A and B are shown apart, each in its own frame.
Chain A
Amino acid sequence: KAGVTQTPRYLIKTRGQQVTLSCSPISGHRSVSWYQQTPGQGLQFLFEYFSETQRNKGNFPGRFSGRQFSNSRSEMNVSTLELGDSALYLCASSYLAGGQETQYFGPGTRLLVL
Protein backbone atom coordinates (compact mmCIF):
# COMPACT_ATOMS: atom_id res chain seq x y z
CA LYS A 1 0.00 0.00 0.00
CA ALA A 2 1.20 3.52 -0.67
CA GLY A 3 1.89 5.61 2.41
CA VAL A 4 0.40 8.92 3.43
CA THR A 5 1.20 11.55 0.84
CA GLN A 6 1.31 15.29 1.34
CA THR A 7 1.54 18.04 -1.22
CA PRO A 8 3.30 20.29 -1.67
CA ARG A 9 6.43 19.28 0.24
CA TYR A 10 7.75 22.83 0.49
CA LEU A 11 6.03 26.17 0.35
CA ILE A 12 7.07 29.79 0.76
CA LYS A 13 4.43 32.43 1.44
CA THR A 14 4.36 35.98 2.72
CA ARG A 15 2.53 37.37 5.72
CA GLY A 16 -1.17 37.91 5.14
CA GLN A 17 -1.47 35.32 2.41
CA GLN A 18 -3.40 32.09 2.76
CA VAL A 19 -2.26 28.57 2.05
CA THR A 20 -3.90 25.20 1.40
CA LEU A 21 -2.11 21.94 2.13
CA SER A 22 -3.27 18.55 0.90
CA CYS A 23 -3.09 15.08 2.40
CA SER A 24 -3.99 11.72 0.89
CA PRO A 25 -4.33 9.00 3.53
CA ILE A 26 -3.45 5.37 3.14
CA SER A 27 -6.13 3.56 1.18
CA GLY A 28 -8.90 2.39 3.50
CA HIS A 29 -8.02 4.79 6.32
CA ARG A 30 -10.91 7.03 7.21
CA SER A 31 -9.33 9.13 9.94
CA VAL A 32 -6.98 11.98 9.05
CA SER A 33 -5.24 14.16 11.63
CA TRP A 34 -3.10 17.25 11.19
CA TYR A 35 -0.19 18.33 13.39
CA GLN A 36 2.12 21.32 13.45
CA GLN A 37 5.77 20.85 14.38
CA THR A 38 7.93 23.80 15.38
CA PRO A 39 11.27 23.88 17.21
CA GLY A 40 9.75 25.80 20.11
CA GLN A 41 6.44 23.99 20.62
CA GLY A 42 7.20 20.52 19.28
CA LEU A 43 4.41 18.50 17.71
CA GLN A 44 0.96 19.96 18.33
CA PHE A 45 -2.40 18.57 17.33
CA LEU A 46 -4.46 20.73 15.00
CA PHE A 47 -7.57 18.70 14.16
CA GLU A 48 -8.87 15.30 13.13
CA TYR A 49 -11.40 14.37 10.50
CA PHE A 50 -13.33 11.13 10.25
CA SER A 51 -15.85 10.40 7.52
CA GLU A 52 -15.86 14.05 6.40
CA THR A 53 -16.62 15.35 9.92
CA GLN A 54 -14.27 17.10 12.29
CA ARG A 55 -14.02 14.74 15.24
CA ASN A 56 -11.44 16.49 17.40
CA LYS A 57 -9.87 19.92 17.48
CA GLY A 58 -6.73 21.29 19.09
CA ASN A 59 -6.07 24.74 20.52
CA PHE A 60 -5.34 26.70 17.38
CA PRO A 61 -7.00 29.92 16.23
CA GLY A 62 -9.80 29.92 13.69
CA ARG A 63 -7.33 30.89 10.95
CA PHE A 64 -6.53 27.19 10.82
CA SER A 65 -9.26 25.13 9.22
CA GLY A 66 -9.62 21.86 7.44
CA ARG A 67 -11.94 19.58 5.61
CA GLN A 68 -12.18 16.02 4.43
CA PHE A 69 -13.62 14.75 1.21
CA SER A 70 -15.66 11.62 0.54
CA ASN A 71 -12.53 9.79 -0.62
CA SER A 72 -10.92 10.58 2.77
CA ARG A 73 -8.44 13.04 1.27
CA SER A 74 -8.05 16.07 3.49
CA GLU A 75 -7.02 19.66 3.07
CA MET A 76 -5.83 22.15 5.63
CA ASN A 77 -6.11 25.88 5.14
CA VAL A 78 -4.35 28.67 6.99
CA SER A 79 -5.58 32.18 6.33
CA THR A 80 -3.87 35.50 7.05
CA LEU A 81 -0.49 33.86 7.51
CA GLU A 82 1.79 35.03 10.33
CA LEU A 83 5.53 34.56 10.68
CA GLY A 84 4.89 32.13 13.53
CA ASP A 85 3.00 29.81 11.20
CA SER A 86 6.32 28.73 9.71
CA ALA A 87 6.47 25.06 10.58
CA LEU A 88 6.39 21.49 9.38
CA TYR A 89 2.77 20.45 8.92
CA LEU A 90 2.22 16.73 9.28
CA CYS A 91 -0.76 14.71 8.28
CA ALA A 92 -1.49 11.28 9.69
CA SER A 93 -4.04 8.63 8.83
CA SER A 94 -5.10 5.85 11.13
CA TYR A 95 -7.12 2.67 11.32
CA LEU A 96 -8.33 0.41 14.10
CA ALA A 97 -7.54 -3.30 13.96
CA GLY A 98 -7.49 -5.93 16.66
CA GLY A 99 -8.28 -3.33 19.29
CA GLN A 100 -5.18 -1.34 18.48
CA GLU A 101 -5.17 1.90 16.57
CA THR A 102 -2.15 2.59 14.42
CA GLN A 103 -1.38 6.02 13.06
CA TYR A 104 0.86 6.63 10.06
CA PHE A 105 2.39 10.00 9.29
CA GLY A 106 3.19 11.54 5.96
CA PRO A 107 6.51 13.27 5.23
CA GLY A 108 5.06 16.69 5.96
CA THR A 109 4.80 20.04 4.21
CA ARG A 110 7.39 22.57 5.26
CA LEU A 111 5.88 26.06 5.21
CA LEU A 112 8.01 29.16 5.42
CA VAL A 113 6.27 32.50 5.97
CA LEU A 114 8.31 35.59 5.10
Chain B
Amino acid sequence: DQQVKQNSPSLSVQEGRISILNCDYTNSMFDYFLWYKKYPAEGPTFLISISSIKDKNEDGRFTVFLNKSAKHLSLHIVPSQPGDSAVYFCAASATGTASKLTFGTGTRLQVTL
Protein backbone atom coordinates (compact mmCIF):
# COMPACT_ATOMS: atom_id res chain seq x y z
CA ASP B 1 0.00 0.00 0.00
CA GLN B 2 1.84 3.06 -1.33
CA GLN B 3 0.67 5.90 0.88
CA VAL B 4 2.83 8.49 -0.85
CA LYS B 5 2.93 8.41 -4.63
CA GLN B 6 5.03 10.20 -7.18
CA ASN B 7 3.40 9.17 -10.41
CA SER B 8 5.99 10.67 -12.73
CA PRO B 9 9.19 8.64 -12.62
CA SER B 10 11.02 11.23 -14.68
CA LEU B 11 10.79 14.84 -15.85
CA SER B 12 12.87 16.83 -18.29
CA VAL B 13 12.93 20.64 -18.16
CA GLN B 14 14.96 23.28 -19.95
CA GLU B 15 17.35 25.44 -17.97
CA GLY B 16 15.67 28.63 -16.77
CA ARG B 17 12.16 27.21 -16.97
CA ILE B 18 9.97 26.06 -14.10
CA SER B 19 10.15 22.48 -12.82
CA ILE B 20 7.00 21.15 -11.17
CA LEU B 21 7.21 17.90 -9.27
CA ASN B 22 4.03 16.33 -7.96
CA CYS B 23 3.19 14.08 -5.06
CA ASP B 24 -0.08 12.54 -3.91
CA TYR B 25 -0.84 10.91 -0.59
CA THR B 26 -3.66 8.78 0.73
CA ASN B 27 -3.24 8.92 4.50
CA SER B 28 -5.31 11.79 5.90
CA MET B 29 -3.30 11.63 9.14
CA PHE B 30 -0.21 13.03 7.41
CA ASP B 31 0.43 16.52 8.73
CA TYR B 32 4.03 17.32 7.80
CA PHE B 33 5.57 17.08 4.37
CA LEU B 34 9.11 17.38 3.09
CA TRP B 35 10.97 17.34 -0.19
CA TYR B 36 14.43 15.90 -0.62
CA LYS B 37 16.76 15.59 -3.55
CA LYS B 38 19.20 12.75 -3.92
CA TYR B 39 22.32 12.25 -5.97
CA PRO B 40 23.66 8.73 -6.60
CA ALA B 41 25.73 7.30 -3.74
CA GLU B 42 24.67 10.10 -1.38
CA GLY B 43 22.00 10.42 1.27
CA PRO B 44 18.93 12.58 0.54
CA THR B 45 19.41 16.33 0.93
CA PHE B 46 16.62 18.27 2.64
CA LEU B 47 15.09 20.98 0.45
CA ILE B 48 11.93 22.34 2.00
CA SER B 49 9.08 21.32 4.26
CA ILE B 50 5.52 22.36 4.95
CA SER B 51 3.15 21.81 7.82
CA SER B 52 -0.49 20.95 7.15
CA ILE B 53 -1.55 24.26 8.71
CA LYS B 54 -0.05 26.05 5.69
CA ASP B 55 -0.71 25.78 2.00
CA LYS B 56 2.53 27.30 0.73
CA ASN B 57 6.13 27.63 1.81
CA GLU B 58 8.95 29.31 -0.06
CA ASP B 59 12.69 29.10 0.24
CA GLY B 60 14.66 30.77 -2.50
CA ARG B 61 14.03 29.03 -5.81
CA PHE B 62 11.94 26.33 -4.13
CA THR B 63 8.24 26.60 -3.31
CA VAL B 64 6.07 23.83 -1.97
CA PHE B 65 2.28 23.94 -2.34
CA LEU B 66 -0.06 21.79 -0.30
CA ASN B 67 -3.66 21.07 -1.26
CA LYS B 68 -5.09 19.13 1.67
CA SER B 69 -8.51 18.54 0.15
CA ALA B 70 -6.89 16.91 -2.88
CA LYS B 71 -4.17 15.26 -0.78
CA HIS B 72 -1.65 16.68 -3.19
CA LEU B 73 1.58 18.59 -2.88
CA SER B 74 3.92 19.97 -5.45
CA LEU B 75 7.43 21.37 -5.56
CA HIS B 76 8.16 24.26 -7.89
CA ILE B 77 11.74 25.10 -8.81
CA VAL B 78 12.19 28.45 -10.52
CA PRO B 79 14.40 28.95 -12.41
CA SER B 80 15.65 25.42 -12.99
CA GLN B 81 19.41 24.96 -13.16
CA PRO B 82 21.51 22.05 -14.47
CA GLY B 83 22.69 21.38 -10.90
CA ASP B 84 19.09 20.61 -9.98
CA SER B 85 19.29 17.38 -11.96
CA ALA B 86 18.75 14.65 -9.37
CA VAL B 87 16.07 12.34 -8.00
CA TYR B 88 13.47 14.16 -5.92
CA PHE B 89 11.55 12.46 -3.13
CA CYS B 90 8.53 13.73 -1.29
CA ALA B 91 7.99 12.44 2.21
CA ALA B 92 5.17 12.68 4.72
CA SER B 93 4.77 12.22 8.44
CA ALA B 94 1.80 11.82 10.76
CA THR B 95 3.78 12.97 13.78
CA GLY B 96 3.81 16.69 13.04
CA THR B 97 7.57 16.46 12.72
CA ALA B 98 10.17 15.05 10.35
CA SER B 99 9.95 11.75 12.22
CA LYS B 100 8.76 8.41 10.89
CA LEU B 101 8.69 9.60 7.29
CA THR B 102 6.91 7.75 4.52
CA PHE B 103 8.69 8.39 1.25
CA GLY B 104 7.45 8.43 -2.31
CA THR B 105 9.25 6.48 -5.02
CA GLY B 106 11.00 9.51 -6.45
CA THR B 107 11.00 11.56 -9.66
CA ARG B 108 14.18 11.91 -11.68
CA LEU B 109 14.55 15.51 -12.84
CA GLN B 110 16.79 16.29 -15.77
CA VAL B 111 17.50 19.96 -16.44
CA THR B 112 18.81 20.42 -19.96
CA LEU B 113 20.77 23.31 -21.42
Measured CB to CB, the residues of A under 8 A from B are 4, 31, 33, 35, 42-45, 48, 55-56, 58, 90, 92, 94, 96, 99-108
Contacts and interface: CB of A to CB of B under 8 A. Distances in A.
A92 B46 CA distance: 10
B32 interface: yes
Contact of B41 (A104, A105, A107): A107
Interface string B72-101: 000000000000000001010001011111
B103 A108 contact: no
B41 A48 contact: no
Interface string B47-76: 001010000000000000000000000000
Nearest to B38: A105
9 contacts: A42-B103, A42-B105, A44-B103, A48-B99, A56-B95, A90-B43, A90-B44, A105-B36, A107-B42
A44 B46 CA distance: 16
**Chain B interface extent, by class:** 20 to 34
A43 B99 contact: no
B42 to A, nearest CB: 6
Given A42-B105, A43-B89, A43-B103, A102 B98 contact: yes
A42 B106 contact: yes
Nearest to A108: B43
Given A55-B99, A94-B98, A94-B99, A105 B106 contact: no
Given A43-B44, A44-B103, A105-B43, 19 more contacts: A4-B43, A31-B99, A33-B99, A33-B100, A35-B101, A43-B101, A48-B99, A56-B100, A90-B43, A92-B43, A94-B98, A100-B51, A101-B49, A101-B98, A101-B99, A102-B98, A103-B101, A106-B43, A107-B42
